[in-house]
Amino acid sequence: MRTQICIIGGGPSGLLLSQLLHLKGIDTVVLERRTREYVLGRIRAGVLEFGTVELLREAGLGARMTREGFVHDGTYIALQNRGFRIDFKKHTGKQVMVYGQTEVTADLYDARDGWDAPVFYDVQAVNPQAVDGDAPFVTFLQGGKVHRIDCDYVAGCDGFHGVSRKAIPDDVRREYERVYPFGWLGILSETPPVSDELIYANHPRGFALCSMRNENLSRYYLQCPLDDRVEDWSDDAFWDELKRRIPEDAADTIVTGPSIEKSIAPLRSFVSEPMRWGRLFLVGDAAHIVPPTGAKGLNLAASDVYYLYHALLRHYRDGDDQGLEEYSARALARVWQATRFSWWFTTTMHRFPDQSEFDQRMQETELDFLESSTAAQAALAENYVGLPY
């Protein structure tokens, strides 16, 4: 089989890239190691930057998002049961959209069902080859048979544990990582959200976040030790602890209920350079991971897609390879900016195991400054709604 772009990974970044290229008449094949049902069942972040929303609309995916998503003009920051609001629209003129990654992926699959482009599911032993030459190809195993796809370019959208990043030689690839000494315990409950905007809470007992998916589906998180297990946390214990960490007015009005999903996620900052090797381009989690504080993961993948999509469009439409040559540098510049913001927000809002009284006072002073400084609030808002592409 031959195609123009072989995309490894059938998550939102791979599907979005495929959708955008399809609309411009560029052929793609997508390889996914899981089933479609598994991909659609993954629970992920739900805050979309302004630029991500615009890119999804460009891909023809705006109808349900506009109808069912929640536009947020700001967010709340809480410090030991008192809080203040950051007004995104006032400081930037932009907003964010609360619309779950699961819904984005479903919209992408629904759009793809209307046109003829193959997705190979349940693939194994995926191997991008000859990517540093002029004739790359990808082999994979499906149903006990080896398949080969010849292509012009390979897009590695296969996540942190995928094979694409490892195709870049060890003596070329540089990796930077910070692993945080805590995790996020998250639950999903069929209850109305406690607030019409997100609440980020810094508390001596640890960080907490109140989020939502829709009018009757809420997502809540607690900072927890890395060695905690989901089984250690009953629903009642979770709700009791959440109420201790969020502002009293929210704790007094929150509607609790049984969890329908509960999980613990570790936190890390990770960047791999370069994001291009020959005719292989890394996209999203294949090249970088950020802690969920500030919801940059999916949005960074979308900005990678934006850069690669436009670079490929220039190549096929205009014969201009400048965008392809500059892809890694342009993508990484934005990646590092978002990594800095996520690192800052994480270190400001969480309690660290070795945190001293001095460290705690610095956190408190940082948040006091944020509350009183228009410039600081504008900087947070600018980063939260998304830096320009």
Helix H or strand E encompassing 301: helix 297-318
Residue 72 appears among annotated catalytic residues: yes
**Residue of 153, 306, 307, 384 marked catalytic:** 384
CA 362 to chain centre: 29
Question: Any catalytic annotation for residue 258?
Answer: no
Distance CA 314, CA 347 (A): 40
Copy the structure tokens of residue 8: 């490894």
176 is catalytic: no
**22, 72, 91, 288: which is the annotated catalytic residue?**
72
* N-terminal to C-terminal alpha carbon distance within the chain: 34
- How deeply is 157 buried, as exposed, middle or buried, from its count of CB atoms within 10 A (0-12, 13-18, 19+)? buried
Residue 179 pairs in a beta bridge with 268
d(CA 91, CA 377): 8
Q: Is 350 labeled as catalytic in the residue annotation?
A: no
Widest Cα–Cα separation across the chain: 63
- Three-state DSSP state, 183: strand
Q: Single out the catalytic residue among 200, 306, 307, 309.
A: 200
Q: Tell me: cis bond preceding 274? Omega within 30 of 0 counts.
A: yes
**Which residue among 292, 307, 309, 327 is the active-site one?**
292
* Catalytic, out of 91, 288, 296, 315: 296
Element (H, E) at 37: helix 36-41
Burial 326-358 (b: 16+ CB within 10 A, else e): ebbebbbebbeebbebbbbbbbbbbbbeeeeee
User: Is position 99 annotated as part of the catalytic site?
Assistant: no
Any bridge partners for residue 214, and if so which? 217
DSSP 211-237: EEEETTEEEEEEEE-TT--GGG--HHH
Cα radius of gyration rounded to whole Å, the chain: 21
C-alpha span between 217 and 187 (Å, rounded): 10
Active site residues: 72, 200, 292, 296, 384
